[in-house]
Structure 1
Amino acid sequence: MSTTLKHRTLSSAIVDQLRQAILDGSYPAGSQLRQDALAQAYAVSRIPVREALFQLEAEGFVKIVPHKGAIVSGLSLDEINDVFELRKLLEPRLLASSIPAMTAADFEAVAGMEAAFEAAMSAGDISRWGLLNADFHMALYARATQPRTLSIVSGLLQTSDRYTRLQLQRGSSIERAQAEHNELIQLCRGGELGEAERLLIDHIELVRRDLVEFLEAGGKE
Protein backbone atom coordinates (compact mmCIF):
# COMPACT_ATOMS: atom_id res chain seq x y z
CA MET A 1 0.00 0.00 0.00
CA SER A 2 1.42 3.39 -0.99
CA THR A 3 1.95 6.07 1.66
CA THR A 4 -0.66 8.29 -0.02
CA LEU A 5 -3.28 5.52 -0.11
CA LYS A 6 -2.50 4.56 3.48
CA HIS A 7 -3.03 8.16 4.60
CA ARG A 8 -6.30 8.35 2.65
CA THR A 9 -7.52 5.13 4.27
CA LEU A 10 -6.62 6.38 7.75
CA SER A 11 -8.12 9.77 7.00
CA SER A 12 -11.43 8.21 5.90
CA ALA A 13 -11.63 6.14 9.08
CA ILE A 14 -10.91 9.21 11.21
CA VAL A 15 -13.53 11.25 9.31
CA ASP A 16 -16.15 8.59 10.04
CA GLN A 17 -15.32 8.43 13.74
CA LEU A 18 -15.13 12.19 14.25
CA ARG A 19 -18.34 12.77 12.28
CA GLN A 20 -20.15 10.25 14.47
CA ALA A 21 -18.71 11.82 17.64
CA ILE A 22 -20.00 15.24 16.53
CA LEU A 23 -23.40 13.82 15.62
CA ASP A 24 -23.85 12.03 18.95
CA GLY A 25 -22.77 15.10 20.92
CA SER A 26 -19.41 13.84 22.15
CA TYR A 27 -17.96 16.97 20.53
CA PRO A 28 -20.62 19.70 20.93
CA ALA A 29 -20.67 22.92 18.93
CA GLY A 30 -17.71 25.13 19.81
CA SER A 31 -15.42 22.25 20.77
CA GLN A 32 -11.83 22.58 19.60
CA LEU A 33 -10.43 19.55 17.78
CA ARG A 34 -6.69 19.62 18.32
CA GLN A 35 -4.60 17.82 15.74
CA ASP A 36 -1.92 16.70 18.21
CA ALA A 37 -4.44 15.27 20.67
CA LEU A 38 -6.38 13.49 17.91
CA ALA A 39 -3.21 12.08 16.37
CA GLN A 40 -2.24 10.70 19.76
CA ALA A 41 -5.73 9.31 20.40
CA TYR A 42 -5.79 7.51 17.04
CA ALA A 43 -2.11 6.56 17.19
CA VAL A 44 -1.38 8.14 13.81
CA SER A 45 0.64 11.03 12.46
CA ARG A 46 -0.90 14.48 12.08
CA ILE A 47 -1.21 14.10 8.29
CA PRO A 48 -4.35 11.88 8.16
CA VAL A 49 -5.85 13.89 11.03
CA ARG A 50 -5.35 17.13 9.11
CA GLU A 51 -6.86 15.59 5.97
CA ALA A 52 -9.84 14.35 8.02
CA LEU A 53 -10.44 17.81 9.47
CA PHE A 54 -10.36 19.39 6.01
CA GLN A 55 -12.96 16.84 4.85
CA LEU A 56 -15.17 17.59 7.86
CA GLU A 57 -14.87 21.29 7.08
CA ALA A 58 -16.05 20.59 3.52
CA GLU A 59 -19.04 18.73 4.98
CA GLY A 60 -19.85 21.64 7.30
CA PHE A 61 -19.12 19.86 10.58
CA VAL A 62 -16.11 21.97 11.55
CA LYS A 63 -14.58 25.34 10.75
CA ILE A 64 -10.83 25.81 10.42
CA VAL A 65 -10.09 29.03 12.30
CA PRO A 66 -6.66 30.74 12.08
CA HIS A 67 -4.64 30.35 15.29
CA LYS A 68 -7.37 28.13 16.81
CA GLY A 69 -7.53 25.16 14.49
CA ALA A 70 -10.68 23.12 13.92
CA ILE A 71 -13.82 24.16 15.81
CA VAL A 72 -17.03 22.12 15.74
CA SER A 73 -19.63 24.17 13.85
CA GLY A 74 -22.87 25.28 15.43
CA LEU A 75 -26.25 24.92 13.80
CA SER A 76 -26.49 27.31 10.87
CA LEU A 77 -29.66 28.85 9.49
CA ASP A 78 -27.92 29.60 6.20
CA GLU A 79 -26.72 26.02 5.89
CA ILE A 80 -30.16 24.61 6.68
CA ASN A 81 -31.74 26.72 3.95
CA ASP A 82 -28.99 25.90 1.48
CA VAL A 83 -28.96 22.14 2.11
CA PHE A 84 -32.71 21.65 2.16
CA GLU A 85 -33.36 23.87 -0.85
CA LEU A 86 -30.82 21.84 -2.81
CA ARG A 87 -32.49 18.63 -1.65
CA LYS A 88 -35.87 19.92 -2.89
CA LEU A 89 -34.36 20.57 -6.31
CA LEU A 90 -32.37 17.37 -6.73
CA GLU A 91 -34.23 14.58 -4.94
CA PRO A 92 -37.46 14.74 -7.01
CA ARG A 93 -35.27 14.45 -10.13
CA LEU A 94 -33.68 11.29 -8.76
CA LEU A 95 -37.04 9.89 -7.71
CA ALA A 96 -38.51 10.41 -11.19
CA SER A 97 -35.55 8.61 -12.74
CA SER A 98 -35.42 5.74 -10.25
CA ILE A 99 -39.00 4.68 -9.63
CA PRO A 100 -39.94 3.45 -13.16
CA ALA A 101 -36.89 1.13 -13.08
CA MET A 102 -37.46 -0.27 -9.58
CA THR A 103 -38.40 -3.93 -9.13
CA ALA A 104 -40.57 -5.58 -6.49
CA ALA A 105 -37.35 -6.56 -4.70
CA ASP A 106 -36.24 -2.92 -4.72
CA PHE A 107 -39.49 -1.85 -3.09
CA GLU A 108 -39.10 -4.57 -0.48
CA ALA A 109 -35.66 -3.17 0.30
CA VAL A 110 -37.14 0.32 0.68
CA ALA A 111 -39.83 -1.03 2.99
CA GLY A 112 -37.11 -2.75 5.01
CA MET A 113 -35.26 0.56 5.37
CA GLU A 114 -38.43 2.22 6.61
CA ALA A 115 -39.05 -0.63 9.09
CA ALA A 116 -35.53 -0.19 10.47
CA PHE A 117 -36.10 3.57 10.72
CA GLU A 118 -39.35 3.06 12.64
CA ALA A 119 -37.72 0.49 14.95
CA ALA A 120 -34.94 2.93 15.80
CA MET A 121 -37.56 5.62 16.47
CA SER A 122 -39.52 3.33 18.79
CA ALA A 123 -36.34 2.36 20.62
CA GLY A 124 -35.26 6.00 21.01
CA ASP A 125 -32.00 5.16 19.23
CA ILE A 126 -31.23 8.77 18.30
CA SER A 127 -27.76 7.98 17.00
CA ARG A 128 -29.23 6.01 14.06
CA TRP A 129 -32.15 8.25 13.10
CA GLY A 130 -30.36 10.45 10.60
CA LEU A 131 -28.44 7.58 9.01
CA LEU A 132 -31.53 5.39 8.58
CA ASN A 133 -33.50 8.33 7.18
CA ALA A 134 -30.72 8.87 4.61
CA ASP A 135 -30.68 5.15 3.80
CA PHE A 136 -34.44 5.24 3.17
CA HIS A 137 -34.15 8.17 0.76
CA MET A 138 -31.14 6.74 -1.07
CA ALA A 139 -32.92 3.37 -1.47
CA LEU A 140 -35.69 5.19 -3.33
CA TYR A 141 -33.13 6.75 -5.68
CA ALA A 142 -31.04 3.59 -6.18
CA ARG A 143 -32.11 3.06 -9.82
CA ALA A 144 -31.58 6.68 -10.87
CA THR A 145 -29.28 7.15 -13.85
CA GLN A 146 -27.67 10.38 -12.63
CA PRO A 147 -24.53 9.26 -10.74
CA ARG A 148 -23.26 12.80 -10.16
CA THR A 149 -26.59 13.91 -8.69
CA LEU A 150 -26.69 10.76 -6.53
CA SER A 151 -23.26 11.62 -5.16
CA ILE A 152 -24.30 15.20 -4.38
CA VAL A 153 -27.54 14.13 -2.69
CA SER A 154 -25.71 11.50 -0.65
CA GLY A 155 -23.46 14.28 0.68
CA LEU A 156 -26.44 16.54 1.37
CA LEU A 157 -28.17 13.78 3.34
CA GLN A 158 -24.99 13.19 5.29
CA THR A 159 -24.76 16.89 6.13
CA SER A 160 -28.43 17.04 7.10
CA ASP A 161 -28.07 14.03 9.46
CA ARG A 162 -27.26 16.39 12.34
CA TYR A 163 -30.29 18.54 11.62
CA THR A 164 -32.63 15.61 10.97
CA ARG A 165 -31.90 14.11 14.39
CA LEU A 166 -32.74 17.40 16.04
CA GLN A 167 -35.94 17.87 14.06
CA LEU A 168 -37.15 14.33 14.78
CA GLN A 169 -36.97 14.95 18.51
CA ARG A 170 -39.63 17.66 18.24
CA GLY A 171 -43.19 16.67 19.17
CA SER A 172 -45.15 15.01 16.40
CA SER A 173 -42.27 15.01 13.92
CA ILE A 174 -41.63 11.29 14.39
CA GLU A 175 -45.20 10.25 13.58
CA ARG A 176 -45.35 12.64 10.64
CA ALA A 177 -42.05 11.39 9.19
CA GLN A 178 -43.19 7.78 9.42
CA ALA A 179 -46.57 8.55 7.83
CA GLU A 180 -44.99 10.51 4.99
CA HIS A 181 -42.40 7.80 4.33
CA ASN A 182 -45.09 5.14 4.10
CA GLU A 183 -47.29 7.30 1.88
CA LEU A 184 -44.30 7.96 -0.37
CA ILE A 185 -43.69 4.21 -0.71
CA GLN A 186 -47.31 3.61 -1.67
CA LEU A 187 -47.34 6.39 -4.26
CA CYS A 188 -44.11 5.10 -5.79
CA ARG A 189 -45.38 1.51 -5.86
CA GLY A 190 -48.50 2.73 -7.62
CA GLY A 191 -46.51 4.64 -10.20
CA GLU A 192 -48.04 7.97 -9.15
CA LEU A 193 -44.85 9.89 -9.80
CA GLY A 194 -46.32 13.39 -9.87
CA GLU A 195 -47.94 12.94 -6.47
CA ALA A 196 -44.81 11.25 -5.12
CA GLU A 197 -42.59 14.13 -6.22
CA ARG A 198 -44.94 16.69 -4.66
CA LEU A 199 -45.04 14.75 -1.39
CA LEU A 200 -41.24 14.46 -1.37
CA ILE A 201 -40.83 18.22 -1.81
CA ASP A 202 -43.37 18.90 0.96
CA HIS A 203 -41.64 16.35 3.20
CA ILE A 204 -38.26 18.05 2.82
CA GLU A 205 -39.76 21.53 3.18
CA LEU A 206 -41.54 20.65 6.44
CA VAL A 207 -38.25 19.51 7.96
CA ARG A 208 -36.57 22.74 6.84
CA ARG A 209 -39.39 24.83 8.28
CA ASP A 210 -39.29 22.98 11.62
CA LEU A 211 -35.56 23.58 11.92
CA VAL A 212 -35.78 27.26 10.97
CA GLU A 213 -38.50 27.81 13.58
CA PHE A 214 -36.39 26.00 16.16
CA LEU A 215 -33.32 28.13 15.52
CA GLU A 216 -35.26 31.39 15.32
CA ALA A 217 -36.79 30.55 18.69
CA GLY A 218 -33.29 30.36 20.14
CA GLY A 219 -32.94 26.58 20.12
CA LYS A 220 -29.69 24.89 20.86
CA GLU A 221 -28.29 21.47 20.16
Structure 2
Amino acid sequence: MAGGLSDVPLPKQIYSVIRERIISGAYPPGSRLRERELSQEFDVSRVPLREALPQLEWDGFIQILPRRGAVVTQLSLRDIEELFDVRLALEPYAARCAAENVARGASMEALLSTMARTEELIGNDEPLLIPAVNARFHMDVVELSDNKLLVSVMNSLMGRVHWLFRLTWHHNPAVSCAAHRELVEAIRSGNGRLAEASAFAHIEHGRKPTLERLAPSLPATL
Protein backbone atom coordinates (compact mmCIF):
# COMPACT_ATOMS: atom_id res chain seq x y z
CA MET A 1 0.00 0.00 0.00
CA ALA A 2 1.20 3.47 -0.79
CA GLY A 3 0.07 7.03 -1.31
CA GLY A 4 -1.28 9.76 0.95
CA LEU A 5 -1.53 7.44 3.96
CA SER A 6 2.23 6.67 3.92
CA ASP A 7 2.75 8.26 7.36
CA VAL A 8 0.11 5.97 8.87
CA PRO A 9 1.41 2.58 10.10
CA LEU A 10 0.66 -0.16 7.58
CA PRO A 11 -1.53 -2.29 9.90
CA LYS A 12 -3.67 0.77 10.61
CA GLN A 13 -4.04 1.49 6.89
CA ILE A 14 -5.16 -2.09 6.29
CA TYR A 15 -7.52 -1.94 9.27
CA SER A 16 -9.14 1.24 7.93
CA VAL A 17 -9.64 -0.11 4.41
CA ILE A 18 -11.13 -3.43 5.55
CA ARG A 19 -13.35 -1.70 8.12
CA GLU A 20 -14.72 0.67 5.47
CA ARG A 21 -15.42 -2.23 3.12
CA ILE A 22 -17.35 -4.05 5.85
CA ILE A 23 -19.35 -0.94 6.73
CA SER A 24 -20.14 -0.23 3.07
CA GLY A 25 -21.24 -3.81 2.43
CA ALA A 26 -18.40 -4.63 0.03
CA TYR A 27 -17.52 -7.43 2.46
CA PRO A 28 -20.95 -8.71 3.55
CA PRO A 29 -21.58 -10.54 6.85
CA GLY A 30 -20.36 -14.11 6.75
CA SER A 31 -17.80 -13.54 4.00
CA ARG A 32 -14.28 -14.87 4.52
CA LEU A 33 -11.26 -12.59 4.47
CA ARG A 34 -8.48 -14.74 3.08
CA GLU A 35 -5.01 -13.62 4.08
CA ARG A 36 -3.38 -14.67 0.81
CA GLU A 37 -5.84 -12.69 -1.31
CA LEU A 38 -5.65 -9.64 0.93
CA SER A 39 -1.86 -9.65 1.03
CA GLN A 40 -1.76 -9.83 -2.77
CA GLU A 41 -4.32 -7.06 -3.16
CA PHE A 42 -2.61 -4.73 -0.68
CA ASP A 43 0.86 -5.79 -1.88
CA VAL A 44 2.03 -6.49 1.65
CA SER A 45 3.31 -9.47 3.60
CA ARG A 46 0.98 -11.28 5.98
CA VAL A 47 2.66 -9.69 9.00
CA PRO A 48 0.77 -6.33 8.92
CA LEU A 49 -2.42 -8.20 8.04
CA ARG A 50 -2.04 -10.31 11.15
CA GLU A 51 -1.69 -7.13 13.18
CA ALA A 52 -4.77 -5.52 11.64
CA LEU A 53 -7.15 -8.47 11.89
CA PRO A 54 -7.16 -8.80 15.72
CA GLN A 55 -8.07 -5.11 16.01
CA LEU A 56 -10.97 -5.66 13.62
CA GLU A 57 -12.07 -8.58 15.77
CA TRP A 58 -11.76 -6.51 18.95
CA ASP A 59 -13.93 -3.79 17.41
CA GLY A 60 -16.61 -6.31 16.45
CA PHE A 61 -16.21 -6.36 12.67
CA ILE A 62 -14.84 -9.88 12.20
CA GLN A 63 -14.48 -13.17 13.99
CA ILE A 64 -11.29 -15.22 13.73
CA LEU A 65 -12.42 -18.84 13.71
CA PRO A 66 -10.43 -22.09 13.87
CA ARG A 67 -9.83 -23.57 10.41
CA ARG A 68 -11.84 -20.77 8.76
CA GLY A 69 -9.77 -17.72 9.52
CA ALA A 70 -11.29 -14.25 9.50
CA VAL A 71 -15.03 -14.02 8.80
CA VAL A 72 -17.10 -10.83 8.71
CA THR A 73 -19.38 -10.68 11.74
CA GLN A 74 -23.00 -11.67 11.24
CA LEU A 75 -25.14 -9.21 13.17
CA SER A 76 -28.38 -10.11 14.92
CA LEU A 77 -31.24 -8.04 16.29
CA ARG A 78 -29.95 -8.85 19.77
CA ASP A 79 -26.60 -7.28 18.82
CA ILE A 80 -28.43 -4.12 17.74
CA GLU A 81 -30.42 -4.03 20.99
CA GLU A 82 -27.23 -4.39 23.01
CA LEU A 83 -25.56 -1.63 21.02
CA PHE A 84 -28.45 0.71 21.83
CA ASP A 85 -28.29 -0.29 25.51
CA VAL A 86 -24.57 0.46 25.77
CA ARG A 87 -24.93 3.74 23.91
CA LEU A 88 -27.71 4.79 26.28
CA ALA A 89 -25.43 4.03 29.22
CA LEU A 90 -22.52 6.09 27.86
CA GLU A 91 -23.55 8.81 25.41
CA PRO A 92 -26.01 10.75 27.61
CA TYR A 93 -23.30 10.95 30.27
CA ALA A 94 -20.88 12.20 27.61
CA ALA A 95 -23.39 14.86 26.56
CA ARG A 96 -23.80 16.00 30.16
CA CYS A 97 -20.03 16.31 30.59
CA ALA A 98 -19.78 18.11 27.24
CA ALA A 99 -22.34 20.72 28.30
CA GLU A 100 -20.61 21.23 31.62
CA ASN A 101 -17.29 21.69 29.81
CA VAL A 102 -18.85 24.23 27.47
CA ALA A 103 -20.15 26.10 30.52
CA ARG A 104 -16.53 26.26 31.68
CA GLY A 105 -15.42 27.70 28.34
CA ALA A 106 -14.65 24.65 26.16
CA SER A 107 -14.88 25.21 22.40
CA MET A 108 -17.70 23.66 20.38
CA GLU A 109 -15.93 24.32 17.08
CA ALA A 110 -15.52 20.66 16.04
CA LEU A 111 -19.10 19.77 16.93
CA LEU A 112 -20.53 22.79 15.13
CA SER A 113 -18.43 22.05 12.05
CA THR A 114 -19.75 18.49 11.89
CA MET A 115 -23.31 19.74 12.38
CA ALA A 116 -22.85 22.13 9.46
CA ARG A 117 -21.45 19.33 7.31
CA THR A 118 -24.51 17.17 8.04
CA GLU A 119 -26.85 19.97 7.01
CA GLU A 120 -24.82 20.52 3.85
CA LEU A 121 -25.09 16.85 2.85
CA ILE A 122 -28.84 16.83 3.46
CA GLY A 123 -29.20 19.99 1.38
CA ASN A 124 -27.17 18.44 -1.45
CA ASP A 125 -29.13 15.14 -1.25
CA GLU A 126 -26.06 12.97 -0.55
CA PRO A 127 -27.53 10.37 1.85
CA LEU A 128 -24.76 7.77 1.48
CA LEU A 129 -22.24 10.20 2.96
CA ILE A 130 -24.38 11.03 5.98
CA PRO A 131 -23.76 7.88 8.12
CA ALA A 132 -20.05 8.64 8.52
CA VAL A 133 -20.76 12.27 9.43
CA ASN A 134 -23.46 11.21 11.90
CA ALA A 135 -20.99 8.88 13.60
CA ARG A 136 -18.47 11.73 13.67
CA PHE A 137 -21.08 13.97 15.32
CA HIS A 138 -21.64 11.49 18.13
CA MET A 139 -17.89 11.08 18.59
CA ASP A 140 -17.46 14.87 18.71
CA VAL A 141 -19.91 14.98 21.62
CA VAL A 142 -17.93 12.27 23.41
CA GLU A 143 -14.63 14.06 22.81
CA LEU A 144 -16.13 17.29 24.14
CA SER A 145 -16.72 15.43 27.42
CA ASP A 146 -12.94 15.54 27.98
CA ASN A 147 -13.10 12.11 29.64
CA LYS A 148 -10.17 10.12 28.27
CA LEU A 149 -11.46 6.71 29.32
CA LEU A 150 -14.89 7.40 27.84
CA VAL A 151 -13.29 8.58 24.59
CA SER A 152 -11.22 5.39 24.42
CA VAL A 153 -14.23 3.13 25.02
CA MET A 154 -16.40 4.98 22.51
CA ASN A 155 -13.65 5.00 19.88
CA SER A 156 -13.82 1.22 19.88
CA LEU A 157 -17.62 1.24 19.81
CA MET A 158 -18.14 3.98 17.24
CA GLY A 159 -17.17 1.79 14.30
CA ARG A 160 -20.17 -0.42 15.03
CA VAL A 161 -22.35 2.66 15.41
CA HIS A 162 -21.19 3.83 11.97
CA TRP A 163 -21.94 0.35 10.60
CA LEU A 164 -25.45 0.53 12.05
CA PHE A 165 -26.00 4.00 10.59
CA ARG A 166 -24.94 2.69 7.18
CA LEU A 167 -27.32 -0.28 7.41
CA THR A 168 -30.18 2.15 8.05
CA TRP A 169 -29.01 5.06 5.87
CA HIS A 170 -32.37 5.19 4.06
CA HIS A 171 -34.11 6.51 7.19
CA ASN A 172 -35.15 10.15 6.85
CA PRO A 173 -31.88 11.94 7.73
CA ALA A 174 -33.69 15.22 8.38
CA VAL A 175 -35.26 13.72 11.52
CA SER A 176 -31.87 12.76 12.94
CA CYS A 177 -30.44 16.13 11.93
CA ALA A 178 -33.19 17.95 13.84
CA ALA A 179 -32.41 15.87 16.95
CA HIS A 180 -28.73 16.72 16.55
CA ARG A 181 -29.59 20.42 16.43
CA GLU A 182 -31.53 20.07 19.68
CA LEU A 183 -28.58 18.30 21.29
CA VAL A 184 -26.18 20.98 20.07
CA GLU A 185 -28.35 23.70 21.61
CA ALA A 186 -28.62 21.79 24.89
CA ILE A 187 -24.83 21.47 25.04
CA ARG A 188 -24.39 25.12 24.07
CA SER A 189 -26.66 26.13 26.96
CA GLY A 190 -24.21 24.57 29.41
CA ASN A 191 -27.06 22.70 31.12
CA GLY A 192 -25.68 19.21 31.71
CA ARG A 193 -28.97 17.59 32.68
CA LEU A 194 -30.73 19.03 29.64
CA ALA A 195 -27.99 17.74 27.33
CA GLU A 196 -28.11 14.33 29.01
CA ALA A 197 -31.88 14.09 28.52
CA SER A 198 -31.62 15.26 24.91
CA ALA A 199 -28.99 12.64 24.06
CA PHE A 200 -30.97 9.87 25.77
CA ALA A 201 -34.18 10.80 23.94
CA HIS A 202 -32.39 10.99 20.58
CA ILE A 203 -30.79 7.55 20.89
CA GLU A 204 -33.85 5.82 22.34
CA HIS A 205 -36.10 7.36 19.69
CA GLY A 206 -34.05 5.58 17.03
CA ARG A 207 -34.29 2.11 18.59
CA LYS A 208 -37.74 0.96 17.42
CA PRO A 209 -37.54 2.15 13.78
CA THR A 210 -34.03 0.72 13.50
CA LEU A 211 -35.11 -2.71 14.72
CA GLU A 212 -38.19 -2.64 12.50
CA ARG A 213 -36.06 -1.72 9.49
CA LEU A 214 -33.54 -4.50 10.13
CA ALA A 215 -35.94 -7.23 11.27
CA PRO A 216 -36.50 -8.65 7.75
CA SER A 217 -32.77 -9.05 7.12
CA LEU A 218 -31.26 -9.99 10.50
CA PRO A 219 -31.84 -13.05 12.68
CA ALA A 220 -33.24 -12.46 16.16
CA THR A 221 -30.14 -13.96 17.74
CA LEU A 222 -27.19 -16.17 16.86
Same fold by TM-score, threshold 0.5 exceeded?
yes
In structure 2, the gaps of 5 or more residues are 1-7
CA offset at residue 128 of structure 1? 3.3
CA offset at residue 12 of structure 1? 0.9
1:115 paired residue number: 116
Contact 1:88 1:205 in 2 (8 A): yes
Partner letter of residue 187 of structure 1?
Answer: A
CA offset at residue 208 of structure 1? 2.7
Contact 1:33 1:71 in 2 (8 A): yes
1:26 paired residue number: 26
Runs (4+) off by over 4 Å: none
CA offset at residue 178 of structure 1? 0.7
Partner letter of residue 56 of structure 2?
Answer: L
Per-residue deviation, residues 95-126 of structure 1 (Å, max 9, x unmatched) = 22222222778234322211112223444545
Provide closer, same or farther for how the CA distance between residues 29 and 123 of structure 1 changes in structure 2, counting only shifts above 3 A. Answer: farther
1:150 paired residue number: 151
Contact 1:164 1:207 in 2 (8 A): no
TM-score (norm 2): 0.84
1:3 paired residue number: none
Tell me the distance in 2 between the aligned counterparts of 1:57 and 1:123.
35
1:90 paired with 2:90, answer yes
Per the alignment, in what secondary structure is the counterpart of residue 67 of structure 2?
coil
Tell me the distance in 2 between the aligned counterparts of 1:132 and 1:200.
17
Per the alignment, in what secondary structure is the counterpart of residue 182 of structure 1?
helix
Identity of aligned residues (%): 32
Per the alignment, in what secondary structure is the counterpart of residue 145 of structure 2?
coil
* Higher fraction of helix: 1
1:133 paired residue number: 134
CA offset at residue 50 of structure 1? 2.0
Partner letter of residue 182 of structure 2?
Answer: E
Tell me the distance in 2 between the aligned counterparts of 1:18 and 1:127.
18
Tell me the distance in 2 between the aligned counterparts of 1:58 and 1:76.
17
Tell me the distance in 2 between the aligned counterparts of 1:129 and 1:107.
20
Q: Bigger shift: 125-134 or 33-42?
A: 125-134
Tell me the distance in 1 between the aligned counterparts of 2:163 and 2:143.
23
Tell me the distance in 2 between the aligned counterparts of 1:118 and 1:94.
23
1:208 paired with 2:211, answer no
CA offset at residue 53 of structure 1? 1.7
Tell me the distance in 1 between the aligned counterparts of 2:84 and 2:67.
32
2:42 paired residue number: 42
Contact 1:94 1:144 in 2 (8 A): yes
Per the alignment, in what secondary structure is the counterpart of residue 63 of structure 2?
strand
1:76 paired residue number: 76
TM-score (norm 1): 0.84
Per-residue deviation, residues 24-45 of structure 1 (Å, max 9, x unmatched) = 2221222211000101111111
CA offset at residue 175 of structure 1? 1.6
Tell me the distance in 1 between the aligned counterparts of 2:115 and 2:144.
18
Provide closer, same or farther for how the CA distance between residues 125 and 36 of structure 1 changes in structure 2, counting only shifts above 3 A. Answer: farther
Q: How many residues matched? A: 211
1:179 paired residue number: 178
Tell me the distance in 1 between the aligned counterparts of 2:217 and 2:46.
37
1:217 paired residue number: 216
